[in-house]
Amino acid sequence: MTRPPGTGELAARFQSAFGVAPDGVWQAPGRVNLIGEHTDYNEGFVLPFAIDKAARVAVRIRPDSTLRLLSTFGNQGMTTADAAALDRGTARGWTKYPLGVLWALQQRGLPVPGLDILLASDVPRGAGLSSSHAIECAVITALNELTAAGLGVDEMVLATRQAENDFVGAPTGIMDQTASLRGAAGQAVFLDCRDRSFRLVPFDAESAGLVTLVIDTKVSHSHSAGGYAARRASCELGSEVLGVKALRDVELEDLAEAAGLLDDKTFRRVRHVVTENNRVLQILELLGSAGPAAIGPVLDASHASMRDDFEISCAELDLAVRAARSAGALGARMTGGGFGGSAIALTPVAAQRQVRAAVEQAFGAAGFAPPDIFTVRPAAGALRLA
């Protein structure tokens, strides 16, 4: 995927599309989740990082209430709406993300002016790298500044969640936008989803001679809604039977007893969440004591748990992980909600070539469509570019 146009080029495109210069240009990154899958809605821990792929928006406030939205992606043409008449259920296609953010601001009693918005993004769509939150976080950061709304980051996290949940209709949590808004170069974001407290954690794979490879299987995760809802329901059932507020409150030591109280499937769902929470903490500890090269086995264990206990992997993800590992990756796991999307493979720089080749070769031999393979590194969170 090519870089999005630079600030000057984006401003020039804005000028030619809208006939005026933008008031500014903002950027917010996608994210990859290093570890902590399906732990967020169980009030547990996650450890994502903001990546060096981002959505950029050039924005101008208009004197009226008209909204004009344009993306450099595809040939979709300009969408027009009215800031005074934003309505759930009317927005279509990609504009639901920026419009959802504007709507969420209005729900907070904040005035939303008419706007011209041009979007350019190099976050792959639907690959589990949260291209949707990159858009939302770029837009909310721009609006917060342009309208002097004075929202703190915590409030922006909640507003973008409201946009996704209630306007877009995607039942997502707070991980993606927290990473996109709070990320920093060379750091992962440890987030406690119970109280939203966070801490930046150094994750400097490069200094350790490693790269984080993303293997985008190109398998669409857009049909995962049913599976996602079913997993959430299993987790709710598990916590109800075990008598806890959320699975966050179940300890590793409680699992033996839980096995006797739950049916086999619910038990395996619960075991994934409980062990995954523990793996997030293990990785935190390992990053502090030994550095990135030590976390491989924990990534592998996470993948096995998602494949066997939570059952959210697929043949392409399993193959990507297996091929990467046997060609020299230190550890690999599917990342994101599952049923498709991407895997990550923590790979020594010296083995990068052979890992890429092995995954491509394995996909070809299995008759799968060629994957997209690229590196990501922890990058800055949302910011103003111009």
**Interface contacts to Mg ion, rule CB under 5 A:** 130, 132
Residue (44 or 173) nearer to Mg ion, CB: 173
Indicate if 254 belongs to the active site.
no
Is 33 near ligand ADP (CB under 6 A)? no
Residue 71 contact among Mg ion, ligand ADP, none, beta carbon within 5 to 8 Å by kind: ligand ADP
Q: Which of 44, 128, 238, 381 binds ligand ADP (CB under 6 A)?
A: 128
| Residue in this structure with the two tokens 């946009």, named with its chain if needed | 163
Residue 128 contact among ligand ADP, Mg ion, none, beta carbon within 5 to 8 Å by kind: ligand ADP
Is 130 near ligand ADP (CB under 6 A)? yes
- Please report how close the Cβ of residue 221 comes to ligand ADP at its closest, in angstroms: 7
Is 93 near ligand ADP (CB under 6 A)? yes
Find out whether 3 and 382 touch, Cβ atoms under 8 Å: no
Q: Applying CB under 6 A, which part among 14-22, 126-134, 296-304, 347-355 lies near ligand ADP?
A: 126-134
> 184-223 mask for ligand ADP (x: CB under 6 A)?
--------------------------------------x-
Q: What are phi and psi of 70, to 5 degrees?
A: -145, 140
Could you say which of 122, 176, 216, 309 is catalytic? 176
Q: Which of 27, 33, 42, 71 binds ligand ADP (CB under 6 A)?
A: 71
Q: Where are the beta strands (DSSP E) in 183-279?
A: 187-192, 198-202, 210-216
Q: What is the largest distance, in Å, between two alpha-carbon atoms of the chain?
A: 68
Residue 33 contact among ligand ADP, Mg ion, none, beta carbon within 5 to 8 Å by kind: none
Residue (130 or 352) nearer to Mg ion, CB: 130
Q: Which tokens is 355 given?
A: 């890992």
Give, as ranges, the residues between 231 and 260 that touch ligand ADP (CB under 6 A).
Answer: none
Residue (172 or 239) nearer to Mg ion, CB: 172
Residue 51 half-sphere exposure toward CB, CA atoms < 13 A: 29
Residue (83 or 91) nearer to Mg ion, CB: 91
Give me the helices (H) in 74-130, please.
96-107
Is 131 near ligand ADP (CB under 6 A)? yes
Cα–chain center distance at 279: 19
Partners of 121 in the β-ladder = 55
Residue 133 half-sphere exposure toward CB, CA atoms < 13 A: 33
Q: b/e string for 266-300 if b means 16 or more Cβ within 10 A?
A: bbbbbbbbbbbbbbbbbbbebbeeebbebbbebbb
Residue 313 contact among Mg ion, ligand ADP, none, beta carbon within 5 to 8 Å by kind: none
Number of residues in the chain: 386
Number of residues that bind ligand ADP (CB under 6 A): 18
Residue 339 contact among ligand ADP, Mg ion, none, beta carbon within 5 to 8 Å by kind: none
Query: Which residues contact residue 182 at a Cβ distance below 8 angstroms, ignoring those fewer than 6 apart?
Result: 50, 153, 189, 198, 200, 381
Sheet containing strand 331-335, edge to edge, reads 331-335, 342-348, 210-216, 372-376
Is 224 near ligand ADP (CB under 6 A)? no
Give me the helices (H) in 327-375, please.
352-366
Is 125 near ligand ADP (CB under 6 A)? yes
Q: How far apart are CA 351 and CA 34, in angstroms?
A: 20
Q: Which tokens is 180 given?
A: 């996109």
Residue (81 or 262) nearer to ligand ADP, CB: 81
Partners of 123 in the β-ladder = none
Residue (131 or 212) nearer to ligand ADP, CB: 131
Is 94 near ligand ADP (CB under 6 A)? yes
Residues known to be catalytic: 176
List contacts with ligand ADP (CB under 6 A). 71, 73, 93-94, 97, 119, 121, 125-132, 135, 170, 222
